[in-house]
Amino acid sequence: MRTLAVAFVVVALLALGGTEGLAQREQVRIGISLPLTGPASASGKAAEAGYRLALDEINKAGGVLGRRLQVFIEDDGNLPAKGVPIFTKFVTVDRVHAITGIFGSAIGVSIVGPAKLHEPLIAMLGAASPLVERGFEGYKYLFHYHPWAYHNMEAVFNFMDFVRTGTGASTIAILYEDGPFGSAGIGDTRAELIRRGFDVPFMESFKTGSGDFTALLTRAKRHPVDVLFWIGFDADALPIAVQSREVGFAPRLIFGSPASWPVGFEGNPVARDVSGMAGWTSASPLPASKEFVKKYQAKYGKLSEEYMAPMAFVTLTTLTAAMNKAGTTDRDRVAAELAKTDAETPVGRLRFKPSRLSPSVHQGFDSDLWMVFQFRDGRRVPVWPKHMAAGPLAWRWR
């Protein structure tokens, strides 16, 4: 009798200890590489917030495959010298089941090598450069959520068509920053605009952050310009708006496409009716977005206008949903499930299709992600596309 009791206790203990170990050994792990320091840290931190919000929700709902999801969030500073070792560490040390994050194109390109070596499942949050797309040609396990640079441009073209339909605008002046963000495909951009019937009498590059646009804007003034379209970064927003007035350059619409805008720009009168392109604003009428905003505010106590937050949220939730549906962490099965995703997310409808330049890569969002807003009364008012608009396009910018 006693032996039986002892045996029972031993077995029970073993079972308990065994399942503990089992749970720890097979806990699902995901590696997240983000620029938490450096110039891109605003986007990186926004993404981190989104990921953590998703993590909370996922674990509250039971985790992944029945266990708590564990994530490793590392700072790559948007530098390949850091991003490459982090990627390798995720795969070889942390033995993650999938990798997400990856914001900058430079990192996207440099991890091609290590990726092809180990072939992990990658749910890439950012990277718009076609160099990344071509680098991953033939790779089966890349799910690229962010639109590619040419998608961004398509959205711009569609917006310009909308502007022309509503106002008769036909001349566009372009200012682009001379780094990869601004210059990628700029020649093609101009060609396409001309093909669509616009006139582009002026196109010049500038050094971002330098703050001196008077010369360029003076030159632009010599042409009758309906729309000033600039591609740069947040540091350029104020100087362009202010110096346009200084030199007396008055296009009827200023349209900028930086990834983010400076703090305090909304409240500044100079921003009135300046328009920008964004992947999302907190004012979005989509039901999934409203829910996201509510959850975000509940957790963090404030709002964010960075589209990287909901993007990151979407990336992690869809990735883990696919794992749960597949019932395993096996790459091929999860990839198969992830490829079937058709979800209404805070940033729009997500469906994967073969990527244009590298069909093996699964492409998530495209030009439909983008919407245009205008700064009005200290807020961002969406004006395009129609189903997202909360107000009319304010023309005659002065």
Partner 1 sequence: MDLMLQTLANALIQSGTYALASSGLALAVGVLHIVNFAHGEFLMVGAFVAYWLSVLAGIDPIVSLVPAGAVMFAASGVIYQAGIRRVLLGPELNALLLTFGIGITLQNLAVLAFGATPRVIHTAYQLTAVTLGPVSVGVAPLVTLVVSVTLLAGMYAVLYRTGVGKSIRAVAQNRTGAHLVGLDVDRIYLLTFGIASALAAIAGTMVLVRIGASPHMGFGFVLKAFAIIVMAGLGNLTGVLWASLVLATAEAFVRTYVPGGGGAAEAVFFLLIFFTLVWRSWRPA
Partner 2 sequence: MRWAGPAALVVALLVPLVPAGGYQQYVVQVTTFVLINAAVALAWDIQARTGQLSLAPAAFFGLGAYAYTIAALRGVPLPVAFLLGPLVAGAVSLGLGVITLRLQGLYFAIATLAFAEVVKVVFKELPLDLTGGAVGLTAPPLLGGHQTGLYYLGLGVLLLVVAASLAVRHTRLHYAFTATRQGELTARVLGVRVVATKLLAFVLSAALTGLVGAYATSRLFFVIPEDTFGIGLSVTALATAIFGGVYTTAGPVLGAIILRSLEEGLRLVLREGYLAVYGVILMLVILYLPGGLVSLWNRRSRDAAGGD
Cα separation, 69 vs 73, whole angstroms: 13
Closest CA relative to residue 28, chosen from 311, 327, 312, 333:
327
Residue 330, classed as helix, strand or coil, is: coil
Is 11 a binding residue for partner 2 by CB under 8 A? The answer is no
Is 209 a binding residue for partner 2 by CB under 8 A? The answer is no
Residues in 68-87 that interact with partner 2 by CB under 8 A: 75, 80-81, 84-85
Q: Candidates 26-34, 182-190, 250-258, 299-307: pick the segment binding partner 2 (CB under 8 A).
A: 182-190
Q: Candidates 104-112, 158-166, 302-310, 316-324: pick the segment binding partner 2 (CB under 8 A).
A: 104-112
Q: Which residue in the set 20, 56, 188, 212 belongs to the binding site for partner 1 (CB under 8 A)?
A: 212
Pairing of strands 253-256, 227-231: parallel
Q: Of partner 2, partner 1, none, which one sits near residue 138, judging by CB under 5 to 8 A according to partner kind? A: none
Burial call 188-200: b when 16+ CB within 10 Å, e when fewer: ebbebbeeeebeb
Is 17 a binding residue for partner 2 by CB under 8 A? The answer is no
Residue at token pair 């591609």: 231
Q: Of partner 1, partner 2, none, which one sits near residue 235, judging by CB under 5 to 8 A according to partner kind? A: partner 1
Is 270 a binding residue for partner 1 by CB under 8 A? The answer is yes
In this structure, the number of other CB atoms found within 10 A of the CB of residue 24 comes to 11
Q: Candidates 163-171, 229-237, 349-357, 389-397: pick the segment binding partner 1 (CB under 8 A).
A: 229-237
Cα separation, 209 vs 367, whole angstroms: 27
Is 59 a binding residue for partner 1 by CB under 8 A? The answer is no
Residues in 158-197 that interact with partner 1 by CB under 8 A: 175, 178
- Beta bridge partners, 371, equal 278
Residue at token pair 């590696």: 31
* Nearby residues of 166 by Cβ (< 8 Å), 6 or more positions away: 393, 395
Q: Is the dihedral of CA 315, 317, 318, 320 positive or negative?
A: positive
Binding site for partner 1 (CB under 8 A): 37-39, 41-42, 45, 175, 178, 204-207, 209-212, 214-216, 218-219, 222, 234-235, 237-239, 242-243, 245-248, 260, 262-265, 267-270
Judged by the rule CB under 8 A, the positions of this chain that interact with partner 2 are 36-37, 75, 80-81, 84-85, 88-89, 91-95, 106, 109-110, 112-113, 117, 129, 131, 134-135, 178-180, 182-184, 187
